[in-house]
Amino acid sequence: MVKICTFLHQCLRIAGGGTLAFFLCKLFDAEYGAFFCIYPVLRLGLVPRLNRHVVRQFVAQGLVVNLRSACCTVCSVTGRCC
């Protein structure tokens, strides 16, 4: 019974994380929506516990992806590579 309970808890956590990511992606009309929706599902599925270190890594990768995307947009407009 304990194994079923932890399995159900993990499934609910993954589904909740994916739903929240999808909602935020649609709310902010973000580019690369599939990345921002699938990555939390993978992250929550691979990590047994969600702690501050995992959240910090997730926020940092989001910032890196957004900065890179902004840099590529500037490069395409100005014609200069970053």
Mean pLDDT by 10 residues, the chain (82 residues): 75 88 84 76 80 86 78 66 60
Residue 24 in contact with residue 36, Cβ under 8 Å?
yes
Give the gyration radius of the chain's Cα atoms. 16
> In this predicted structure, what is the pLDDT of residue 1?
57
Enumerate the domain spans of the chain. 2-78
Instruction: Write down the pTM of the prediction.
Output: 0.58
Residue 24 in contact with residue 59, Cβ under 8 Å?
no
Residue 1 CA to its chain's centroid (Å)? 31
Report the C-alpha gap between 44 and 74 in whole angstroms.
33
